[in-house]
Amino acid sequence: GAVVSQHPSWVICKSGTSVKIECRSLDFQATTMFWYRQFPKQSLMLMATSNEGSKATYEQGVEKDKFLINHASLTLSTLTVTSAHPEDSSFYICSARSWGADGYTFGSGTRLTVV
């Protein structure tokens, strides 16, 4: 089935540093990918929609200069959390439109802890 590989699965970084999260579609081309954030015991909230070859579309309240999204190819989208702070600690998960049974394929998520 359609697979989206997300790395790393977890990361701990120091406050003020940047962290890059990658999502790759392994067996299909993903012109559009979605990035979600999930705080503990909360739902998944869409942060941005990433389109191959163009600028990402950010949801209201999401700082585009802080959460840099690059979708340079049909199989790779990256989310970079710049100048991370403890309040950015969260679970980040990507998804892409696919031919899977649900029409979407989710990555396995990245648990970010900023200390």
Partner 1 sequence: AQKVTQAQTEISVVEKEDVTLDCVYETRDTTYYLFWYKQPPSGELVFLIRRNSFDEQNEISGRYSWNFQKSTSSFNFTITASQVVDSAVYFCALSEASGNQFYFGTGTSLTVIP
Provide the binding-site residues for partner 1, judged by CB under 8 A: 32, 34, 41-46, 49, 91, 93, 95, 97, 100-104, 106-109, 111
In angstroms, give the least distance from the CB of 51 to partner 1. Answer: 10
State how far the Cα of 70 lies from the Cα of 76, in Å rounded to an integer.
8
- Distances 71 to 21, 32, 40, 45, 60 between C-alpha atoms, Å: 12, 9, 27, 20, 20
Q: Choose between 46 and 68: whose C-beta lies nearer to partner 1.
A: 46
Q: Choose between 27 and 83: whose C-beta lies nearer to partner 1.
A: 27
- Distances 20 to 2, 77, 99, 104, 112 between C-alpha atoms, Å: 23, 10, 27, 23, 10
In angstroms, give the least distance from the CB of 17 to partner 1. Answer: 22
In angstroms, give the least distance from the CB of 16 to partner 1. Answer: 25
